[in-house]
Amino acid sequence: MPPKAAKKGSAKKPNASGASAVGKNWEAGLSRAPFEEESWQACVSLVVGRSPEEEKLTQALSVAAQKPQRKLFSLLTWESTVAKIHELGNPKAKRPDEAPVFYEVTEPAKVLLDAGDEIPCDLMANILKFQLLQIKANDQQRREAEQDKGGAKVTDKKGKSPPSPVGPSKEKKTKLKRRDDVEPPKYIDDEPEDGPQHYILLLGFFQPHLIGALDALGVHVANVIKLCSEHTQTSEEQQEESPFGGNEQTTSPVLDSAEVHGRAELDLFWSGLRPVLDSGPPQSKLHDVVQLSYTAPDLSSHTQNPDAELEIGNQIFEGVANLIYDCLNWRQQHQHYLDNMELFSVPTVVVMDAEPAEVVPTPLPVTPRSKKKFVREETPPDQG
């Protein structure tokens, strides 16, 4: 059953401390707001499990990605999006002191969720862009704060300050550590120097048309990563290799309605992804979306052990991050090839004959045996 169309949110006045500059035209303002700029680029990747069993791997990835491991990575999940809708979408509820810009987009989504309806792709794309703009603003504020804290220093794409050419000061400084001091997080810091300013992972979204809706809003998804499991692949290979017949009986697991619905959602996503990417016009960035695949370790035996699950989540996070880095390198190499490719026009000579040449049939070679046969075939039948 297709989702019902969402009603447009009411033109509610924003509070004074919030998005007062947006006014009643928040929808048009959100659509026109630039996500990427020349000074700030982002790499958005959609991570989806191949099956409901493998979609559970995204939960381990979510736990690991929310830890302070990589400074330039942010996470947007379906659960966090629903929480944001309930937080900001109720017009009667008390809003935060500083409501984020374009928060009005959550109001029609809140109405749909309260009615038990699905959120259509166009509205969900607007909600995601609203959250992506928040991630952009937070990252830019972090960079400015780090730059102000370190003085007027030049920072690279990672927001780091390169070492100053001036030698260290001879003044000796001692810094005592207090009990309530919190150690700053130690990041892995494996992002490429020539990469974008930020990386964003989208988890839990199974609408293939969402990629096209985001593209229409100026948010271009770079990668769609299929998350697979070693356990599932091994089970499928064993099932294919097992002989039919015999005394062995194969029993299919009984799935509840939620699992059946989840499997149907994923089947529709993977079957509809390629048509969506191919539906863009010739110059559309939908044709630049790369489909990748990552095979994660088996998680089935570690579901009851949080530490083991976190360790596997860290492995998945590292594998997905490295896959994104590799894809960025491939894109750069391809762009270098396009920038340095030279095309030469090769002239062709067309000769037009004044009169068509007479075609002379070539006689077939005649051997003694074929000559006898030919003569025998030309002999008229006996009339007498």
Mean per-residue pLDDT for 372-379? 47
pLDDT at 286 exceeding the cut of 80: yes
In angstroms, the CA 314 to CA 278 distance is 34
For residue 293, the cross-strand partners are 226
- What pLDDT sits at residue 122? 95
Query: Closest Cα to residue 37, out of 154, 132, 153, 145?
Result: 132
Confidence band for 357, pLDDT divided at 50, 70 and 90: low
The runs of H, that is alpha helices, within the chain are: 26-32, 52-55, 57-65, 78-88, 106-114, 121-149, 209-216, 230-241, 257-278, 306-340, 368-378
Contact 206, 78 (CB under 8 A): no
| Max mean pLDDT range (234-243, 271-280, 296-305) | 271-280
The tokens for 184 are: 């700053």
- What pLDDT sits at residue 255? 59
> Tokens 């309806």 correspond to what residue?
117
Mean per-residue pLDDT for 196-219? 96
Mean per-residue pLDDT for 182-191? 84
pLDDT by residue (tens digit) across 114-141? Answer: 999 999 999 999 999 999 999 999 999 9
- How many C-alpha atoms does 189 have within 13 Å on its Cβ side? 8
- How many C-alpha atoms does 326 have within 13 Å on its Cβ side? 12
Contact 55, 258 (CB under 8 A): no
319-347: burial string, b at 16+ Cβ within 10 Å, e else: bbbebbbebbeeeeeeeeeeeeeeeeeee
Mean per-residue pLDDT for 304-322? 88
Confidence band for 12, pLDDT divided at 50, 70 and 90: very low
For residue 225, the cross-strand partners are 47, 292
Confidence band for 158, pLDDT divided at 50, 70 and 90: low
pLDDT at 23 exceeding the cut of 60: no
Confidence band for 256, pLDDT divided at 50, 70 and 90: low
Contact 74, 198 (CB under 8 A): yes
DSSP secondary structure code for residue 114 in this structure: H
CA-to-CA dists, residue 281 to 121, 210, 259, 277, angstroms:
20, 17, 36, 10
